[in-house]
Amino acid sequence: MKKKKNKKPTKCIFTQSCGIFKNDILVSVGGSYKDILNYIKKNAEDWFPKAIKEKREIIEELLTTKGFAMMDKSFKGAGIIWIKSYKNRWEDIETLLHELHHMVFMVARQKHFEEEMEAQAFLFENLFQQIRRGIVNKLKDKGR
């Protein structure tokens, strides 16, 4: 009889703070629209699920790509970073970096530090470290 291999988890979802900028980012790897909505219903303020529902068509379209970053006025400063998969390969890291660039740009525009390259660089570095660790740890924890 063949032994069943433990399948490594492919999905995770969590919230990452932007620190002093007071923005929260929902980070999802491989989550569906329903996964995102359910997580938000359990973990976010009451207005956020409504804002996500209003963007359903856009989000579902974006879920067909390798990744996306989204921040909308209706999100009240919150954002979403979604990545199709993460196996800690260069391709995955490059997708995360790409989407983080978009998110840092959106936070900088919202918080009016578009011209402050050093502040953006610090935010980018911090978010990359925290989000990458969060993804790796969440996927590893689920695999136990």
Tokens standing for residue 72: 């909308």
What is the pLDDT of the chain when averaged over all its residues? Answer: 89
Q: At what angle do helices 90-111 and 117-142 cross, to 10 degrees?
A: 130
**Position 3 in a domain:** no
Q: What is the pLDDT of residues 43-64, one digit of tens each?
A: 887 778 888 889 999 999 999 9
Q: Please indicate, yes or no, if residue 117 is contained in any of the structural domains.
A: yes
Residue 71 belongs to a domain:
yes
Measure the CA–CA gap between 29 and 58, rounded to whole angstroms: 17
Buried b (16+ CB within 10 A) or exposed e, 79-97: bbbbbbebeeeeebeebbe
Contacts for 3-10 with beta carbons within 8 Å, 24 or more apart?
A: 6/143, 8/139, 8/143, 9/139, 9/142, 9/143, 10/85, 10/139
Does a structural domain hold residue 24? yes
Q: Where are the alpha helices (DSSP H) in the chain?
A: 33-43, 47-54, 56-62, 90-111, 117-142
HSE-up of residue 32 (Cα within 13 Å, Cβ side): 3
Residue span of the structural domain in which 31 resides? 12-142
Is 4 a member of any domain?
Answer: no
As for how many domains the chain has, the answer is 1
Note whether residue 23 is domain-resident.
Answer: yes
Q: What are 99-132's pLDDT values in tens digits?
A: 999 999 999 999 999 999 999 999 999 999 999 9
pTM of the predicted model as reported, rounded to 2 decimal places? 0.88
